[in-house]
Amino acid sequence: MITLSSRQREELVQISTEVRLPARTIIYREDAAAEWIYAVAVGTVKSYRDLPSGRRALAIFLFVNDLFGLAENGRYVNTTEAVVPVTLCRFSLSELMGLLQQDAALQFRFLEKVTHELRESQRRAILINRRDATGRLAMFVALMAARTRQAGQPEGDVPLPMSRSDIADFIGLSLESVSRASADLERRGLVKFESRHRARILDRAEFDKLVAAV
Amino acid sequence: MITLSSRQREELVQISTEVRLPARTIIYREDAAAEWIYAVAVGTVKSYRDLPSGRRALAIFLFVNDLFGLAENGRYVNTTEAVVPVTLCRFSLSELMGLLQQDAALQFRFLEKVTHELRESQRRAILINRRDATGRLAMFVALMAARTRQAGQPEGDVPLPMSRSDIADFIGLSLESVSRASADLERRGLVKFESRHRARILDRAEFDKLVAAV
DNA sequence: CGGTTGGTTGAGCTGTATCAAAAGATGTGG
DNA sequence: CCACATCTTTTGATACAGCTCAACCAACCG
């Protein structure tokens, strides 16, 4: 979690605009000219690429305080879309770059943030490679639970704002396999899917064991 | 590719030490106290984690100019090991952090570097999720070829300094599947594995088509 | 030349994708 | 507030790709 000094916060506020968007809005498309960097203030965003085969590969979900707008050669790498109604902070890329060049301490926070994301990305890449569908889904629920926990909410109760097919695209399974994997987690008494967008971890010990059994 | 001013280069040289290590040397282990950041000067390094199941997940291969030594809470995240005899530049983590806090322009180079790695990591995570073994291996060869190309060497001839089982651990296949996939690439006339550590792309057009067919 | 490590080939089994269809949610307008 | 239309999710049957186990081959080394 990044903490900023009040001065840093103020510098950022000065070059940022708040944006509210309804669910399913495309924020930007892959290959579009990258003019803005975003931070999630409220809600959930997904970042993905549609592959030639028709499959959609979901690179990452973005939650409160996450930054996004990664570009390469001035073009966005992924397409991003609001999963639910969202509020975003939008920064002009050039202004932000200028600010970072001047304020080494602020830039350092960004460096920490990106480094953290890199770690997470590598970790996910490793975990996602496990072969069993049930384990993959458990891992995903564990990731979401960790996020909830660090946001200070009571754990055990895990919000899943995204759809099953988003989950499928993220963990690299078919939609049907995700469904069967959830059924399996319920049958084994580890997780209860209380509604479409809410899971509850029932047997923490056994659940963690499954997650760790990579 | 990061380019540094001569002043920046000098600042870095002052806090760095050159280290030479024979092949198979463990540079640091997962969970060890993180005191140093490294840059590869010569050779290839692998970064991995051994999982409870006995599988080894290879997070990334590191080549010339790559930085490594990613830590979390003061502990290294992965284990790193020299694949071949290597020369490394070693920086004291605390000294480097101090330098970056003072020199925003230098820090910006690091930010760019880490951002680039993040992009690459996400891209790999997406590509690695394709299901067919032959396509995965082709993708891996393509990654190695891209690296060779950007290093200015003639393409088509792709050095693979790592072992087959390293490749297997990296692309998430069994050793046997990697072997079968290479046989398949040869049978289809796309790639010739000239020796254990050297591949040649024969039919560039068809090869690229396979790589892109995600 | 035996030993060791690294890689290839073969046979059978398991688990996930795929196709197809039913069942549940969600939202809209009357 | 209900009934319909649509979208999402679940369930079922089948095929196939890659894993596993096991044996074999080949390079490299003293």
**Element containing residue B99 per DSSP (H, E):** helix B93-102
**Angle subtended at Cα A13 by Cα A11 and Cα A16, rounded to the nearest 5 degrees:** 115
- The reply to whether A195 Cβ lies less than 7 angstroms from strand C is yes
Question: Using CA atoms, how far apart are residues A65 and A29, in angstroms rounded to an integer?
Answer: 21
pLDDT (0 to 100) of residue B6 = 80
Question: Using CA atoms, how far apart are residues A196 and A199, in angstroms rounded to an integer?
Answer: 8
pLDDT (average), residues B32-38: 96
Count of positions (residues) in chain A? 214
Assess whether pLDDT exceeds 70 at residue A2. no
Assess whether pLDDT exceeds 70 at residue B1. no
Query: Residues of B from 116 to 155 whose C-beta is within 7 A of strand D: which are they?
Result: 131-134
Contact B40, B65 (CB under 8 A): yes
Q: How far is the CA of A56 from the C1' of D4 (A)?
A: 32
Q: How far is the CA of A180 from the C1' of C23 (A)?
A: 15
Measured between CB atoms, does B213 come within 8 Å of chain A? yes
Mean pLDDT of chain B: 91
Which chain B residues are within 8 Å of A214, Cβ to Cβ? 51-53, 55, 57
**Element containing residue B76 per DSSP (H, E):** strand B75-76
Q: Do A214 and B55 touch (CB under 8 A)?
A: yes
**Element containing residue B45 per DSSP (H, E):** strand B45-50
Query: Residues of A from 129 to 158 whose C-beta is within 7 A of strand D: which are they?
Result: 131
Among residues of chain B, what percentage have pLDDT more than 90?
76
Task: Quote the tokens at residue A72.
Answer: 């390469």
Q: Which of B115, B54, B50 is nearest to B81 (CA)?
A: B50
Bridge partners for A193 per DSSP: A199
Chain A interface disruption, residue of B49, B126, B209, most A CBs within 10 A? B126
Q: How far is the CA of B163 from the C1' of D22 (A)?
A: 22
Chain B interface disruption, residue of A80, A97, A110, A121, most B CBs within 10 A? A121
Q: Give the three-class secondary structure for B5.
A: coil
Which chain A residues are within 8 Å of B79, Cβ to Cβ? none
Measured between CB atoms, does B128 come within 8 Å of chain A? yes
Q: Write the single-letter amino acid at B113.
A: K
Task: Quote the tokens at residue A8.
Answer: 């840093």
Measured between CB atoms, does A154 come within 8 Å of chain B? no
* Range scoring the smallest mean pLDDT among B3-17, B45-59, B112-126, B166-180: B3-17
Burial of A76 (0-12, 13-18, 19+ CB in 10 A): buried
Q: Do A78 and B122 touch (CB under 8 A)?
A: yes
pLDDT (0 to 100) of residue A46 = 97
Give the pTM: 0.91
Q: How far is the CA of A147 from the C1' of C26 (A)?
A: 28
pLDDT (0 to 100) of residue A3 = 66
- The reply to whether B175 Cβ lies less than 7 angstroms from strand C is yes
Assess whether pLDDT exceeds 70 at residue A126. yes
pLDDT (0 to 100) of residue B10 = 85
Query: Cβ neighbours of residue B170 under 8 Å, at least 6 residues apart?
Result: B58, B61, B140, B162
- The reply to whether B134 Cβ lies less than 7 angstroms from strand C is no
pLDDT (0 to 100) of residue B2 = 56
pLDDT (average), residues B95-102: 93
Residue B151 C-alpha from the chain's centroid: 14
| Per-residue pLDDT tens digits for B44-82 | 999 999 988 888 999 999 999 899 998 999 999 999 999
pLDDT (0 to 100) of residue A1 = 47
Task: Quote the tokens at residue A185.
Answer: 């987690």
pLDDT (0 to 100) of residue B3 = 66
pLDDT (0 to 100) of residue A153 = 73
pLDDT (0 to 100) of residue B12 = 87
pLDDT band at B37 (very low <50, low <70, confident <90, very high): very high
Measured between CB atoms, does B54 come within 8 Å of chain A? no
**Element containing residue A211 per DSSP (H, E):** helix A204-212
* Range scoring the smallest mean pLDDT among A17-26, A75-84, A122-131: A122-131
pLDDT (0 to 100) of residue A76 = 96
Sign of CA dihedral B90, B93, B98, B101: positive
pLDDT (average), residues A14-38: 94
N-terminal to C-terminal alpha carbon distance within chain B:
27
pLDDT band at B188 (very low <50, low <70, confident <90, very high): very high
